[in-house]
Structure 1
Amino acid sequence: MSIFKKKQRSIYESQPRIDFNDSLTAPIVHSYQPLDQPLDQPLTKPVLAPETPFQKVNFERESELQPSSEVSSNTSVLTTSFIADSYNDAPKMADLLLIKGQLIVHLEKLPKGERVRLLDFISGVMYAFNGDVQKIEHRTYQFTIQKDA
């Protein structure tokens, strides 16, 4: 053990790392607290986030793309879901991400090798467009880029 701190070789070592392994994540739990209940009392009941059905995106015609849900009523960003069948879907995912600005990708059907390659490809797209990646559930990721207005 050394008493000196290890010098970072690049800016990438100081960045937070994204966990791409196969570990399960806990579901998102929203808390519900009535307005008349004091804050020092425990919450009455947890409410699980609603599950929205996901649809596969058709890339044959852009005019037929349907967003699965709207993120909020006061913004124009739409969330689109995509179920990847193979690594060959990576360019389609990148194009859809550039069009919509936000994409939720489900990787349940992919073997581990293709899943890692696809995540590496999309991570490069995220780096190029100053994007953000979040792991939502087991093998489900949300990709968001900053769209120029």
Structure 2
Amino acid sequence: MQLACVEYARNVLGMTDANSSEFNSQTTYPIFKIMNPDDLNYGGSLRLGDYLVSLKDQTLTKAIYQQDSIKRRHRHRYEFNNDYLNQFNDGEFIVSGIYLQENLVETIELKNHPFFIGCQYHPEFSSKITAAETLFDSLVKKIKML
């Protein structure tokens, strides 16, 4: 999701220097930034564990999961920078899932794409050898239809 948002900022929104502060701390447009810059101790800024993701109505993500919310595992330090949320809200880029308690972007998608979804959580952590995570399963089914 992180690089999908950076690419969208650069090539659709015209922010040619857009980046994640993880990769370039001097970027003009820090689309992703460290969650808690005041706590730079190792592990202190890490978002780890299960979090509830609220899914937006009339999105592909919600149609895939067929639920109002899902609980998924996280392990990351950088979050979408909500200072840019209005610029991304252009009708094509959709924030389809959020963590309501802190207003964190969890899933994104492109409105006019058959399966462009990015997620902040790790769906691979919910997959089992006998049962793929719902998002992966849906992607494979979509590919088979093409």
Task: Please give the range of the TM-score, normalised by the shorter of the 2 chains.
Answer: under 0.3
Q: Which has the larger radius of gyration?
A: 1
TM-score of the two chains, using structure 1 as the length reference: 0.26
Larger strand fraction of residues: 2
